[in-house]
Amino acid sequence: MTLPENLRVSPLLRGAAPDTLRQLAAQAASRTLPRTAALWRSGDPVVCAFILLRGEVRLTRPQAGGRSLTRPVSGAGEVLGLRDVLGAAGTFAEDAVGSAPHTDLLALPGAALRELIRRDPALADAALTLLAEQLGTVPELVSRHLGDLYRQGLIGLRRREIVTLDEPGLRRRLPG
């Protein structure tokens, strides 16, 4: 399977424009992760998001009281680190460790992915949808929050596309 075909495995990139895929494919890198090897650790700087091609990664987030919450990610096309790449924290909030004998991934440079999301409405829509799913929210809640941002003059609509009108104002609204 060629690199652009690998990119289309992910729901994030299925509807992306061909030029978007070409640009991302030119910068994407294959990565194999052995069992127990860290893809990243909590506190590591966010550089890439990853598309899972084969295998499994366990995401572990520390919780209050010394406990931790672990979630296995094993579906081909799953995107790891998207929330972190699009967020303002700059570091990962959890550990990501290989839990299969060999896990194959594609590394997508965060800066390139953010820029392409800004330019490709289909990619932006897919990113918002995936983030909402990963956060466990529902479309009604997302619509309500987008409506709030619109009424505050932070975002606008242009031909069915959400555009940023006040980036500093949006950044002030982000947690952390």
73 closest CA partner among 87, 56, 85, 95 = 56
CB 102 within 8 A of CB 32: yes
* Range in 4-8, 10-14, 71-75, 148-152 the model is least confident about: 4-8
Residue bearing tokens 């069992």:
35
Strand, helix or coil for residue 115: helix
Residue 17: Cβ-neighbour burial (10 angstroms; 0-12, 13-18, 19+): middle
pLDDT confidence of residue 157: 85
For the segment 111-115, the average pLDDT, to the nearest whole number, is 94
DSSP state of 109: E
Q: What is the pTM assigned to this prediction?
A: 0.74
Instruction: List, in order, residues 6 or more apart from 36 with CB less than 8 Å away.
Output: 97, 98, 99
Arithmetic mean of pLDDT, 76-102: 92
CA Rg value for the chain: 17
